[in-house]
Amino acid sequence: MDFVLYLGKKFLLTVILLLGIALITFSLTKALPGDPALALVGQRASPATIAAIRKQIGADKPFLVQYVDYVKMISRGELGRSYFTRREVLDELKQKFPNTMRLALLAMALALPAGLALGFWAAMERGRPLGEALNSISIVGISVPVFFSGLLIMLFASLELKLFPPAGTGGAEFLILPAITLSLPSIATLSKVSRTSALEVMGLPFIKTARAKGISEFRVIAVHIFRNAIIPIVTVAGLDFGSYLNGAVLTETIFGWDGIGRYSVEGVMRRDYPVVLGTVLAGTVTFIVINMLVDIAYHVLDPRVRVYGR
């Protein structure tokens, strides 16, 4: 019952948050210089045509009316049509969202084991030169922008070694390089958190007890330390996964991957308001849903945490 209440409260907050996000995005798109009507028909169109187009896309109404119209439309489950392709934004999102998801899932599938392994290794080697070096790697990971690491990866794996196609959308061969690029900063943050978390657990008395009982070192690490250190790591992994939309904006642009990151940049650059609004809302919903899943995972992993009790 508590849990249902918790979910209900979260849902309500989500709706309010989305209205707020829609308002900010909406205000921003209205502040954008350049007239979408002009952009649609070109500079040489007659004033009458431009006025007609403006009326058609609703740009002649007052700001608040436009916002209310927009919210009404969203509540009907629509996101409007792109000014340029005239296609439904929702349909485009349905087509592109799975592409971004595939990219994000593969990136996380690479980042989680790599980050955990690096972090735990660094924790075991603490105080020794190797541990320090491993720790520095994690700072390197967050210091290299994805558009640069992406270019380097493209240069070596694709232009030099000709292992994979440099850019495009399609099967697994197109997916590998952008996924590796996207996973790099994530590996860095995950290894940092894993190290801190593992070190914290390693200092607790029950680990000493486990060792004193004569349990093998492997079992101590794999079962006793790992199970207890994993909880904060799950949170960070979830947050990271949510932030992949941010990373995807650049990664997808570089690798020409047909997902919502690239779609949103194109929307902003072409002043295609329905596209901008649609992608931002979709991104925010994804972010919130992932956060909720993390909360639930927390509950499963650690019975002490009763998030919904508070």
Partner 1 sequence: MGVKAKAAAAILVFIVAASLLAPLFYRYNPHRIDLDHIKTRPGFSHLFGTDQEGRDVLARVLEGAKISIWVSLLAAVSAMVIGLAVGVISGYAGGKVDTALMAFVDLILAFPSLLLAIGISVVLPPGMFTVMIAIAAVGWASFARLTRGYVLGIRDAQYVEAARAIGCGRSRILFAHILPQCMPLALTMLTLKIGGFIITEASLSFLGLGAQPPVATWGGMISSGRAYLETAPWISVFPGIAIALTTFCFNALGDALAKN
| Residue ranges that bind partner 1, judged by CB under 8 A | 17, 20-21, 24-25, 28-29, 31-33, 136, 139-140, 142-145, 147-148, 151-152, 154-155, 159, 243, 245-246, 249-250, 253, 264-265, 268-269, 271, 276, 279-280, 283-284, 287-288
Cα distance between residue 146 and residue 24, in whole Å: 27
Residue 257 CB partners (closer than 8 Å, separation 6+): 99, 103, 167, 168, 169, 174, 175, 178, 248, 251
Q: Which amino acid is at 158?
A: S
Rounded to a whole number of angstroms, the minimum distance from the CB of residue 261 to partner 1 is 9
Residue 103 vs 280, nearer CB to partner 1: 280
Asked whether the beta carbons of 266 and 272 are under 8 A apart, the reply is yes
**How near is the Cβ of 31 to partner 1 at its closest, in Å?**
5
CB-nearer residue toward partner 1: 71 or 268: 268
Q: Which is nearer to partner 1, 95 or 243 (CB)?
A: 243
Q: Could you tell me the smallest distance in angstroms from the CB atom of residue 84 to partner 1?
A: 16
DSSP characters over 45-106: S-HHHHHHHHHHHTTTS-HHHHHHHHHHHHHTT---B-TTT--BHHHHHHHHHHHHHHHHHH
CA distances from 210 to 66, 87, 197 (A): 64, 62, 18
Cβ proximity to partner 1: between 51 and 167 the closer is 167
Least Å distance, CB 46 to partner 1, is 28
- d(C-alpha 206, C-alpha 225), whole Å: 10
CB of 32: closest distance to partner 1 in angstroms? 5
CB of 87 to partner 1, least distance (A): 21
Residue among 34 and 303 whose Cβ is closer to partner 1: 34
Nearer to partner 1, 30 or 211 (CB): 30
Our CB check for partner 1 shows the closer of 255 and 298 to be 255
Please check whether residue 175 is in contact with residue 106, taking contact to mean a CB–CB distance below 8 angstroms. Answer: yes
CB of 269 to partner 1, least distance (A): 7
d(CA 129, CA 116): 19
3-state SS class at 157: helix
